Structure 1
Amino acid sequence: MSDYVSADLYHTYMNSIWEETTDGIVIVDLQRIVLDVNPAFEQMYGWTKEELVGRKLPVGPAHLYKEFARLYDQVIEGKKVAAAEYPKLCKNGKHLHVSITLSAVRDSSGQTTGIVAIERDITKRKQTEKALRETEQLYSHLTQNVLAGVFVRQDRKIVYINSYMSAMLGYTREEFVTLRTADYIDAIELFTIKRQVAEILIKKREPRYTVTVRGKKKDGGFVYLEVNLSLIMYKGRTAMLGSAKDVTSSVALERSLRESAEMYQRVMKLLPEPIVLSDHGKIIYANNSAIKLVQADEKNEVIGHSVFEYIHPDHHEESLRMMDLIMFDEEPSQFEERQIICRDGQTIDVEMSSIRINNYMGKRVILTVIRDLTDRKRSEDMLVRSEKLSVIGQLAAGVAHEIRNPLTALKGFTQLLKTKNEGYGSYLDIMSNELDRINLIVNEFMTLAKPHFTRFNDENLVHILRGVISVLETQAIMTNVDIETQVEDCLMIIHADANQLKQVFINVIKNAIEAMPDGGRVTITIRSNFPDSVCLTIRDEGIGMTDSIIGKIGQPFITTKEKGTGLGLMISSRIIEAHHGTLHIVSRHGEGTEVQITLPLAKPATTELN
């Protein structure tokens, strides 16, 4: 006892420790008869102080009595027993694992008069250690028997490797410890792997990183390994756990499949017809012709997308049915007409035929051949229109002359009657107007029927248009219509028959004016598509036309005007075609109509001569 601590204070300290400590304390004499126990001992074993004092300790299992006696004898002999771990028995029969420290109790003369035992419950720790040992045994069993290589890398060297990994590369475990990574991993791939490991596992803290690498065997051969890496704690410090699987045969198969797919693609790339490969409705390849057909700028605008993004909704059901049939049929499907939607929203008529490919990158896919029907449809339409024109021409040639003479007589007699029968003037006016209308139709028939003798010269398109506008300005003013022109400031010389073009422009601009009975604006734009062509656009603000009418415009007697014949636009189309140009109509119901006329510019040599 220190000179600086009084006996009472020392007694208070010792009593506090005795009462408050969580370790069980028991004092016995040399015959191991209990002299005293603290509250923690009572709580630990379930016996009360009164049940224990004056008797030998009942807490030791029978098979350990001799072992405990030996420990007590060691203390009596002056030796110390520290942290000895043994099982002990509780009052309720339950076993505890305790850590025991024994010390001698001496009197003032230094003689040992008893023994104090301090016991700490370590049952939970023992259970944890047991579970850990069992887990380690399980992991050891798994790593040694699993059909994959397993290794642990720490401090830039292999600290554990299973037998399967050793066998795959041909090195012993002892040899692996001395190897550098570059000795068993291809050096070309090593730098990339290290950078990706640092990025994915360490920086991004992803749980796992998978990579396929080429491993180098001890005998100089190569093996492809699929490696899974993850960060773990190994012996208290960060380490990298890896598992490796031999995928050499899979890599060889993938290479073979890829080469086969590339061969397919090279062949399809050279074919002029658009070709598409699809897997469960998803486009996995499209050749250049297919990319061009749907007006895509890049392949990634098509590849990876659903085929139904490009097939018109009206054809979805039948296309899906055909795809299902193809997967169960060895023969190609018949060519069937479809409509596809381009990237710009334009619809194109095509025909498609599909066949199943059984092994494309290891999958069964559908190969579809597409034929653009645009030119064929245009030719068919032109043929039909030509036949109609031929019929009309024959009708005009055979009938028009016969009708004109009676018309002239009827017209003359109507005017004569009008001068002599003032009471029937209104009726005679109607008759006269209708005769004029018949005469107009006959004249248009004659225009279609008679041969056209054209004089092509280099003409200034702007001058022709201004002459037409000056003629129609009076009609426009009377119907409250403004004619606005937007002309590029450049010379636009075309090789044309000026009179025929005037006829076309008068017909189109007059139609635009008449489409706005309540007034509005006609906008005429001329822009050069140098050096090939010039585009003339005539736009009105009328009520427009429906899609059904648009599709028939240019056919005889198809018109939106009450007294129109539909022949004017047919004649205009013929004139523009004769000039190697195009006439295209765009109209939206309720928004107006736009007529686009494109004509080729005169060749430079011709222009210079002019």
Structure 2
Amino acid sequence: MKTDLDGHFLYISPSCEQILGYKPEELITQNKFSYVHYHDKKRAIKNLNDVISKGENGRATFRMKKKDGIYIWVETLFKPVRDPDSDDIIEVISVIRDITERKISEDEVRKREETYRNLVENSPDAVILASGNEIMFINDTGVHLLGACTKEAILQKSLMDIIHPDFHDIASKRINMGKDSQEFVEYKLIRLDGSEVDVEMKGITTIYQNHPVKHIIIRDITERKKTQELLLNSEKLSVAGQLAAGIAHEVRNPLTAIKGFLQLMQSELNTHTTYFDIIESEMNRIELILTELLVLSKPQDLKFEMKDIAVIIEHVKALIDTNAIMKNIVINTYYECENLMIRCDENQLKQVFINLLKNSIEAMPDGGKITIEVINHGKDKVKILFKDTGSGIPKELLKKIGQPFFTTKENGTGLGIMVSKQIIENHHGTMHIWSDPHGTIIEIILPVK
């Protein structure tokens, strides 16, 4: 078809009837834009004006109305025609073709992609679309899981950058395998701040931007693993308690008899008193272990009274100071507030504090410093910090501290920290441990009054 600069038809080819249903004579002198869909008219006029002003060929797509009233999508190629004498553009030749089916297909694909994107974006699981090792897309849940502020921070990285090195081999095999995962596999990912997170991942093939990619579903299983670990420790603790009760009673009975006969022998024999002292000392140590075992086996009768936490700590410090000084260790105390009264069983809290200080002393064979801080924690709690300058606890061992019968000491029972935690929990408090190569910090939080 040929139009003037305002869009009036000057010539229509017979084939136009196959596309629009109009005979050429029905369109001559009519304005082309009166047949263009009103939503597309401004854009179609602009396209024609651009061709005229620039003097260059152009291309556009818009909807035109057929004789039966139905609108179809057409693709139009524009070519300006110049006057041979003045070189001014006087007409525009347009070639149109029906692209309705193509547009419908494109719209369906776009709608499917939008639906897919909405599902992925709003998924409670983290989702990554990856082509090989290249990350093509990540949803907001994934950005949050990996500790990023923007998607771009993740898109700049590869899959192997965010997967822990220990899992590179299995990840490479699954990438190269090409098959979809039938079930979730556990991995460890590295967040942008360097911390690690336990996840399970599953990859299925999909199409993204007309290319096959892996749709990787990532689920954070950190809380689940913590729960499993707590359940496991709970089971261990239950078994430990049952075992402890049996051992304690079985050993305590003959121990009582031995102590009785030892006292009789001491009263009758005055020789080898050193041997008697050693035997008695060792039996007292056995009794101490039995007492710890019994704490595990059943709740103790706690005698709660109002006590000044600073006084309790100072009493414990006085007991430990001599041993600390002999090992070139200084114990400092800092109290943010005075006369801080808590409702507690004084003897049990002393047992906890003595245990923690002894552990700190043993962690510093070459001397060092222990700091005890007592500070307010909110309106109704107090925080007690035990800090030492020892070599710290290795990361792989730190998470095992407090498990039944786990110890790093040659003569340890593996019960001290666990019993201490239980005592603190019986006081409605919490106990946490942090450690690095520069030392260890133990935090105890207890309710006030």
TM-score by length of 2: 0.69
- Asked if the contact 1:583–1:595 (Cα under 8 Å) also holds between the matched residues in 2, the reply is yes
Q: Evaluate the alpha carbon distance shift between residue 451 and residue 578 of structure 1 in structure 2; reply closer, same or farther with a 3 A threshold.
A: closer
Higher Rg: 1
- Asked if the contact 1:260–1:360 (Cα under 8 Å) also holds between the matched residues in 2, the reply is no
- Asked if the contact 1:465–1:502 (Cα under 8 Å) also holds between the matched residues in 2, the reply is no
> Corresponding residue for 1:541?
389
> Corresponding residue for 1:353?
202
Amino acid at match of 1:591: H
Whole-Å Cα distance in 2 between the matches of residues 286 and 491 of structure 1?
Answer: 55
Aligned partner (choices 294, 299, 308) of residue 451 of structure 1? 299
> Corresponding residue for 1:375?
223
Q: Evaluate the alpha carbon distance shift between residue 415 and residue 493 of structure 1 in structure 2; reply closer, same or farther with a 3 A threshold.
A: closer
Alignment of 1:78-157 (within 5 A): none
Deviation by residue 1:206-241 (Cα, 9 ceiling, x = unmatched): xxxxxxxxxxx88799xxxxxxxxxxxxxxxxxxxx
Q: Evaluate the alpha carbon distance shift between residue 521 and residue 319 of structure 1 in structure 2; reply closer, same or farther with a 3 A threshold.
A: same
Q: CA deviation at 1:272?
A: 1.7
Q: CA deviation at 1:570?
A: 0.8
Amino acid at match of 2:315: S
- Asked if the contact 1:468–1:506 (Cα under 8 Å) also holds between the matched residues in 2, the reply is no
> Corresponding residue for 2:78?
169
- Asked if the contact 1:472–1:510 (Cα under 8 Å) also holds between the matched residues in 2, the reply is no
- Asked if the contact 2:204–2:214 (Cα under 8 Å) also holds between the matched residues in 1, the reply is yes
Whole-Å Cα distance in 2 between the matches of residues 580 and 555 of structure 1?
Answer: 20
Amino acid at match of 2:78: L
> Corresponding residue for 1:271?
123
Alignment of 1:339-488 (within 5 A): 339-357=188-206, 359-418=207-266, 421=269, 424-452=272-300, 463-464=308-309, 467-480=312-325, 481-486=329-334
Q: Evaluate the alpha carbon distance shift between residue 282 and residue 309 of structure 1 in structure 2; reply closer, same or farther with a 3 A threshold.
A: same
Whole-Å Cα distance in 2 between the matches of residues 527 and 255 of structure 1?
Answer: 65
Q: Evaluate the alpha carbon distance shift between residue 289 and residue 256 of structure 1 in structure 2; reply closer, same or farther with a 3 A threshold.
A: same
Q: CA deviation at 1:525?
A: 4.1
1:524 aligns to what SS in structure 2?
strand
Q: CA deviation at 1:571?
A: 1.6
Aligned partner (choices 156, 165, 176) of residue 304 of structure 1? 156
Whole-Å Cα distance in 2 between the matches of residues 363 and 512 of structure 1?
Answer: 60
Q: CA deviation at 1:400?
A: 2.0
1:170 aligns to what SS in structure 2?
strand
Q: Evaluate the alpha carbon distance shift between residue 264 and residue 161 of structure 1 in structure 2; reply closer, same or farther with a 3 A threshold.
A: closer
Q: CA deviation at 1:521?
A: 0.9
Alignment of 1:556-567 (within 5 A): 556-567=404-415
Q: Evaluate the alpha carbon distance shift between residue 316 and residue 512 of structure 1 in structure 2; reply closer, same or farther with a 3 A threshold.
A: same
2:272 aligns to what SS in structure 1?
helix
Alignment of 1:546-585 (within 5 A): 546-577=394-425, 582-585=430-433
Q: CA deviation at 1:260?
A: 4.5
Deviation by residue 1:549-605 (Cα, 9 ceiling, x = unmatched): 3343212332233433121211222344456654333334x5332223456x67xxx
> Corresponding residue for 2:69?
none
- Asked if the contact 2:337–2:376 (Cα under 8 Å) also holds between the matched residues in 1, the reply is no
Deviation by residue 1:448-492 (Cα, 9 ceiling, x = unmatched): 1223456889x89xx425522432234134422323345556999
Deviation by residue 1:137-189 (Cα, 9 ceiling, x = unmatched): xxxxxxxxxxxxxxxxxxx975x868999x9323214499657xxxxxxxxxx
Whole-Å Cα distance in 2 between the matches of residues 354 and 491 of structure 1?
Answer: 61
TM-score by length of 1: 0.52
Q: Which runs of 5+ in 1 are unaligned?
A: 1-155, 180-216, 222-248, 603-609
Q: 1:333 aligned to 2:196?
A: no
> Corresponding residue for 1:71?
none
Q: Evaluate the alpha carbon distance shift between residue 564 and residue 369 of structure 1 in structure 2; reply closer, same or farther with a 3 A threshold.
A: same
Q: CA deviation at 1:540?
A: 1.1
2:238 aligns to what SS in structure 1?
helix
Q: Which runs of 5+ in 2 are unaligned?
A: 1-51, 61-75
Q: 1:286 aligned to 2:141?
A: no
- Asked if the contact 1:276–1:369 (Cα under 8 Å) also holds between the matched residues in 2, the reply is yes
Whole-Å Cα distance in 2 between the matches of residues 162 and 389 of structure 1?
Answer: 83
> Corresponding residue for 1:26?
none
1:169 aligns to what SS in structure 2?
strand
Q: 1:592 aligned to 2:439?
A: yes
Amino acid at match of 1:537: L
Whole-Å Cα distance in 2 between the matches of residues 163 and 258 of structure 1?
Answer: 25
Amino acid at match of 1:573: K
Q: CA deviation at 1:393?
A: 1.9
Q: CA deviation at 1:431?
A: 2.3
Amino acid at match of 1:441: I
Q: Evaluate the alpha carbon distance shift between residue 163 and residue 346 of structure 1 in structure 2; reply closer, same or farther with a 3 A threshold.
A: closer
Whole-Å Cα distance in 2 between the matches of residues 170 and 503 of structure 1?
Answer: 95
Alignment of 1:488-567 (within 5 A): 497=344, 499=346, 501-525=349-373, 530=378, 536-567=384-415
Whole-Å Cα distance in 2 between the matches of residues 488 and 367 of structure 1?
Answer: 55
- Asked if the contact 2:434–2:442 (Cα under 8 Å) also holds between the matched residues in 1, the reply is yes
- Asked if the contact 1:488–1:527 (Cα under 8 Å) also holds between the matched residues in 2, the reply is yes
Deviation by residue 1:93-149 (Cα, 9 ceiling, x = unmatched): xxxxxxxxxxxxxxxxxxxxxxxxxxxxxxxxxxxxxxxxxxxxxxxxxxxxxxxxx
Whole-Å Cα distance in 2 between the matches of residues 306 and 427 of structure 1?
Answer: 70
Q: Evaluate the alpha carbon distance shift between residue 467 and residue 161 of structure 1 in structure 2; reply closer, same or farther with a 3 A threshold.
A: same
Q: CA deviation at 1:439?
A: 0.8
- Higher RCO (CA-CA < 8 Å; seq separation 6+): 2
Whole-Å Cα distance in 2 between the matches of residues 339 and 220 of structure 1?
Answer: 59
Q: Evaluate the alpha carbon distance shift between residue 503 and residue 302 of structure 1 in structure 2; reply closer, same or farther with a 3 A threshold.
A: farther
Whole-Å Cα distance in 2 between the matches of residues 257 and 539 of structure 1?
Answer: 62
Identity percentage of aligned residues: 37
Q: Evaluate the alpha carbon distance shift between residue 258 and residue 378 of structure 1 in structure 2; reply closer, same or farther with a 3 A threshold.
A: same
Whole-Å Cα distance in 2 between the matches of residues 534 and 302 of structure 1?
Answer: 41
Deviation by residue 1:354-405 (Cα, 9 ceiling, x = unmatched): 1111x11112111122222222222222222222222222223334234223
Whole-Å Cα distance in 2 between the matches of residues 595 and 333 of structure 1?
Answer: 44
Q: Evaluate the alpha carbon distance shift between residue 262 and residue 163 of structure 1 in structure 2; reply closer, same or farther with a 3 A threshold.
A: closer
Q: Evaluate the alpha carbon distance shift between residue 471 and residue 161 of structure 1 in structure 2; reply closer, same or farther with a 3 A threshold.
A: closer
C-alpha RMSD of matched pairs (Å): 4.4
- Asked if the contact 1:254–1:361 (Cα under 8 Å) also holds between the matched residues in 2, the reply is no
Whole-Å Cα distance in 1 between the matches of residues 442 and 197 of structure 2?
Answer: 21
Whole-Å Cα distance in 1 between the matches of residues 311 and 110 of structure 2?
Answer: 64
Q: CA deviation at 1:321?
A: 0.8
